[in-house]
Structure 1
Amino acid sequence: MPFFSHLSLLAAVSSLSGAQFGFDTAIISGALVSIHSDLRPSSSSSPGPSTNGTLPITDARRPLTAGEQELIVSVTTVGAIVGALASAYFSRFWGRRTLTMVSSILFALGSIEQAASQYIRELVLGRAIVGLAIGLASMITPTYLSEVCPADIRGRLVALNTFFVTAGQVIAYGVSAAMFHLPHSWRWMILMGVVPAIVQLAGVLYLDESPRWLVSRGRDRDAREVLKRIYPSWSGSHIEAELQTIKASAGGLSNTSDAATSSTLRSPARLKETRSEIMTLFRNRANRKALLLACGLQVFQQLCGFNALCYFGASILRMAGFHSNPVLAALPIAIANCVGTAIAMRLVDRPRFGRRKLLLWTTAFAAIWLALLGAALLGVKDLGDVVEHAQLTEADLKPEPTSVFAPPSMLRHLDVRQQSISAALVNATSMLPMPTTSSAATSTSTAASLVSKPVASPSGWAFVSLLCMVAFTLSYALGLGVVPWIVQAEALGANVRLRAVGGALATASNWTANLCVSAVFLDLVRAITLPGSFWLYSGITVVAWIFTWFQLPEMSGLDIDQTSRMFDGSGSGPGLSSSGPYRPIRAQDDLDEEEDVGRGLLSGTSGKGAREPTASSRADEDVWRVHDSEDEDEDGDEVGAEAEAQARAGQTQRYANGSLDSDRDGPR
């Protein structure tokens, strides 16, 4: 694929949603250790004098508690769950392009709301808005890329979205580290999230709609023009063959116009139709197996604990001993994630690796590194509390009211009469604004002693812990970070409606599992310690490896119209074994790795263990024989293209009418 091709432009613009998602995931890690006491807990009471002449407790600015930190992080996940479920409904009627535009607008609005917030609830509202955008984008982008990309590079371009996620995380950590010591730095960190949103909004003007969605709306002429722009080297006969294949796989869809569908978006008939499609997913055995695989991998992607490092990485590293700039210490983790994803993009479409083998190897290493991380953290002396700075009371910090982006005011009072508060300040010196004035001479001397207290350097075990985090992140990025999104885009078949519903359920599963991690991580650390938490994640990753071994077939190189037949329950589809775990069929020895892998996978096995070809597999072989005859005769006439179109349309029509739309349970 040429670097400056139209397909490259479509992939880059749509993947900017991933960059916004990654930026938000990582920027909150730096913001949590930079907010200090900038926010008030509520706006229910107006400022007024208290017994000691300062702001009342209900309106005081103070550090965030553990529960407030978990709320700020997890509310984005709740919004993402809602956005992912809503995307199934709206993507069918509004299209992939329009929904991408909506998500960009929500990203920008949410970032502005967060940066301008004065109260905790305003920050939570902004996080929820961004969560809606993330939910929409995380479902719609892989779906769109899988629908516009050819099979031989589909995995690579779907993985491009994940690469943009990791690139956004690297940028976020870099921005956080650079701004960490600036006044009100967290506001500027979050406000930078507006930049990729604006860039994507400009790029959407050049974004084509998905040809599959256009066909589902009866807009064949528009779909034909999009295919011509995406594949400029294809002849007219090839374009028509692809269009007929798409129409066959989208069989049964109404050819209503966009205006008509929009006007009936909330009609009882449309809602009943959506419920019927959800039931179709669960009634048919093949659909259930594909949905189980997609949802299962998405759940394990989150339960392995990677996002605990994303959301609380800076806090964990500060706890391990990196006090001066924990965000800078976390930067290698983000870089490892980005590098690992870039490598995975090169490997995932190669026959030697594919989806299955790559995920099995990397998941095993991820489990090992998580176990070693727990052991390394166990060796860190004086392992602090992740939220010990949140134990301060109202009397500790009361900065003067100021404008949103003005330099922060200094401490009015430093109460040294309570020894417990002084001890808490010693533990949290790196988290608090530097006091410059006090109400008493004793306060001044105490504050000076706290500021001048040297910060201990990280121990050797702290650096070992960081190394384990980087190694785990690299293993995660090579497998669990990329493969679940590719499998979700491939396993749910070619039916546009069922892809939307199934994709939304799988994405919602991802965010629900994310919520389980982000909402309870701090409480989990306090219950079973930080090393115990990562040992728990290691055990869950082992379960993910077992699930992958028994459930994931190899789907690289296959068209979307063919992948769902692998779950028809008969065990005779390409890449499946009739008993035991799924195993990929080896390609023919005389095929080069750079050639289309689909031919080798669809040609069946020979010799020992060979099966009688099914009707569907014979149809596939007919398609490839048509391709071979065209390759031998470059000057062939229209007969070959028509035969190809008929063969592919017939095969996909049988699939659409049987595997996906049948209400019967079990193989046909």
Structure 2
Amino acid sequence: MTDNPEEPLIANFQSTEGDQHDGSHDVEHAHESRGGTQHISPPGLFIWLLTFSAGISGLLFGYDTGVISATLVSIGTSLSHRPLTSLDKSVITSCTSLFALLVLPFASALADDRGRKRVVLFADTLFIIGALCQAASRTVEVMVIGRSVVGIAIGAASFVTPLYIAELAPATHRGRLVTMNIVFITLGQVVAYVVGWIFGTYGSPETTGWRWMVGLGAVPAVCQVVILLWMPESPRWLVKDGRSQEAREVIAKIAAGDDAQDPSTRREVDAVLKSIEIEVREEATAMRLGGAGAGYANGNAVNAWMEAMRELIRVRRNRRALAIACLLQGLQQLCGFNSLMYFSATIFTMVGFSEPTLTSLVVAVTNFAFTLVALVLIDRVGRRRILLWSLPFMIAGLVLAGYGFSFIELPDSEISSPSTTGGQSGAVIILASIMIYVAGYAIGLGNVPWMQSELFSLNVRSVGSGVATATNWSANFVIGLTFLPLMEALSPSWTFVLYAVICAVGYGLIWTVYPETAGLSLEDAATLLEADDWGVR
């Protein structure tokens, strides 16, 4: 936000040169705006441990969204003593998204008032309760309650974990480290499908097998609670809370590990801390001049959240950041991807695969593998360009899937019926096209929206990220609730074509308003949107 004469010293947190040498023009331009070439050291062991401990939330997120696919085809008549209807499946699936959405304002206020780490621990408690509730359920209603509790946990974790990692990560590696959270999400989905296949094939699916599937979601949450007790709070939140000395200790560990007493490291840490303190002071002054700040002064979390919301809407660059973040988060869901996560086994049963859960595992592995590709590319190519490269593959995959469904003649009964009269060629085309679509999604749209904290200045970062994540879960709720009815009303072919059209519209909007933030510090990235061209050029 301000020019800092000590910034050239900040090799890890502020530098923007280095391993992005073969990236886009946008990334190079960002580098040029910052000044001289600097050496960039890789993230240290401490920051990887932090990312791993926080990333367990991603594993839980992925597991709980992925396991429902195998669960829905394994429950049989063990809930309410009857087969599940399409409405049952839609409600069980979509209630998770709905409650993830509803919890976000409270999670956002709690993250600003009590810290990022405490929200993660709160989510872990709910993951454990929700998993056990699902495993013990005997009726559809109790299953919905269990999925709703898990939804609250997922909503809080999906918002605060990328924020926590982004505020801890060095600038030049922030994209890679935030993407690690997405790697954990996709790994959780793979684990969910493997567990679902094992218990569905070798267990007693309609009695205990599916209960083990959902109940095992409590195990990673217990592990994360233990690990996080030893992990630090975000240094930016600590500065905002008036605990600068604690923040300095955290920054020193991230920057140098055991070499924190080296003179050059101390200067580097002091420069990082000074940069954060300057931003906090300037934003506090701006809020007081704008009539805000009483909520923060009084320590009232609700008033502070409401004042931050006003600041989010009142300031132009904040409004622009919110528009871009909501665009990306909404597009991430409205492209239809989570319909595959929730209903992939149902889809593959419908088109005639004899092992639908095992076929779904192929899709999950594709998602995981190409998320690893994104891990390598995200800081080298840049956020904007990687989206513009990957979206055409998603559009092509969706259109091809619509073509493949034209070979499948569905029965007149419920769309979830396993019977089909289509040929094998249609099923193969559908599987191949879905893999193309998932690969494109995993490289770009699956992870870039979670870089949203880069767009917001510190005083609205938590609230802005919360509103953007709420957009994600709103769209997720719509997708989960409408996918099967759309398949029935429009036909599968036109449903997938509709998702392709949404992706095409999103491509145009991204081209117009989304600037490159790779390599910039959080403080500098937030200033991009003050330009007339939204920082795109």
Q: Is the 8 A contact 1:83 1:134 kept in 2?
A: no
Q: How does 1:489-508 map to 2 (within 5 A)?
A: 489-493=453-457, 495=458, 497-508=459-470
Q: How does 1:224-623 map to 2 (within 5 A)?
A: 224-232=248-256, 233=259, 235-251=265-281, 253=284, 270-322=301-353, 324-350=354-380, 353-382=381-410, 387-389=415-417, 459-486=424-451, 488-493=452-457, 495=458, 497-571=459-533, 576=535, 582-583=536-537
Distance 2:227 2:56 in 1: 9
Distance 2:249 2:299 in 1: 34
Taking a change above 3 Å as real, the CA distance of residues 198 and 265 of structure 1, as seen in their structure-2 partners, is farther
User: What whole-Å deviation, never above 9, does each CA across 1:81-100 have from its counterpart, x for those lacking one?
Assistant: 12222211000111111111
User: What whole-Å deviation, never above 9, does each CA across 1:127-147 have from its counterpart, x for those lacking one?
Assistant: 011001101111101111111
| C-alpha displacement of 1:386 | 5.7
Distance 1:458 1:11 in 2: 46
Larger radius of gyration between Structure 1 and Structure 2? 1
Taking a change above 3 Å as real, the CA distance of residues 156 and 97 of structure 1, as seen in their structure-2 partners, is same
User: What whole-Å deviation, never above 9, does each CA across 1:53-112 have from its counterpart, x for those lacking one?
Assistant: xxxxxxxx1011111111100100011112222211000111111111111111111000
| C-alpha displacement of 1:519 | 0.8
Distance 2:421 2:489 in 1: 27
Distance 1:75 1:544 in 2: 26
Taking a change above 3 Å as real, the CA distance of residues 539 and 153 of structure 1, as seen in their structure-2 partners, is same
TM-score by length of 1: 0.69
| C-alpha displacement of 1:551 | 1.0
Query: Tell me, what secondary structure is at the counterpart of 1:231?
Result: helix
Q: Is the 8 A contact 1:84 1:138 kept in 2?
A: no
2:206 matched to 1:207? no
Aligned residue in 2 for 1:147: 167
Distance 1:470 1:140 in 2: 30
Q: Is the 8 A contact 1:386 1:522 kept in 2?
A: no
Higher relative contact order (CA 8 A, sep 6+): 2
User: What whole-Å deviation, never above 9, does each CA across 1:570-628 have from its counterpart, x for those lacking one?
Assistant: 44x8xx3xxxxx23xxxxxxxxxxxxxxxxxxxxxxxxxxxxxxxxxxxxxxxxxxxxx
Distance 2:142 2:511 in 1: 45
The structure with more helix, counted as a fraction of residues: 2
| C-alpha displacement of 1:177 | 0.8
Q: Is the 8 A contact 1:315 1:386 kept in 2?
A: no
Distance 1:269 1:19 in 2: 33
Q: How does 1:53-68 map to 2 (within 5 A)?
A: 61-68=81-88
Aligned residues: 477
Q: Is the 8 A contact 2:296 2:303 kept in 1?
A: no
| C-alpha displacement of 1:458 | 7.0
Distance 2:299 2:374 in 1: 45
Distance 2:411 2:441 in 1: 26
Distance 1:382 1:160 in 2: 40
Q: 1:11 aligns with which of 8, 33, 51?
A: 51
Distance 1:382 1:68 in 2: 21
Distance 2:297 2:510 in 1: 39
Taking a change above 3 Å as real, the CA distance of residues 480 and 94 of structure 1, as seen in their structure-2 partners, is same
Q: Is the 8 A contact 1:320 1:384 kept in 2?
A: no
Aligned residue in 2 for 1:598: none
Taking a change above 3 Å as real, the CA distance of residues 385 and 163 of structure 1, as seen in their structure-2 partners, is farther
User: What whole-Å deviation, never above 9, does each CA across 1:202-237 have from its counterpart, x for those lacking one?
Assistant: 211221110011111111111111112111245212
Q: Is the 8 A contact 2:68 2:342 kept in 1?
A: yes
2:198 counterpart letter in structure 1: A
2:158 matched to 1:194? no
Distance 1:470 1:312 in 2: 15
Q: Which runs of 5+ in 2 are unaligned?
A: 1-40, 286-294
| C-alpha displacement of 1:325 | 2.0
Distance 1:192 1:3 in 2: 32
Taking a change above 3 Å as real, the CA distance of residues 387 and 284 of structure 1, as seen in their structure-2 partners, is same
Q: Is the 8 A contact 1:228 1:239 kept in 2?
A: yes
2:179 matched to 1:217? no
TM-score by length of 2: 0.85
Percent identity between the aligned chains?
Answer: 36
Taking a change above 3 Å as real, the CA distance of residues 2 and 545 of structure 1, as seen in their structure-2 partners, is closer
Aligned residue in 2 for 1:38: 78
Aligned residue in 2 for 1:602: none
Q: Is the 8 A contact 2:345 2:356 kept in 1?
A: yes
Taking a change above 3 Å as real, the CA distance of residues 550 and 385 of structure 1, as seen in their structure-2 partners, is farther
| C-alpha displacement of 1:2 | 6.1
Aligned residue in 2 for 1:116: 136
Q: Is the 8 A contact 1:156 1:345 kept in 2?
A: yes
State the Cα RMSD in Å. 2.1
| C-alpha displacement of 1:194 | 1.3
2:153 matched to 1:133? yes
2:500 counterpart letter in structure 1: S
Distance 1:213 1:268 in 2: 14
Q: 2:121 aligns with which of 91, 101, 113?
A: 101
Taking a change above 3 Å as real, the CA distance of residues 461 and 530 of structure 1, as seen in their structure-2 partners, is same
Q: Which runs of 5+ in 1 are unaligned?
A: 41-60, 255-263, 390-426, 429-454, 577-581, 584-668
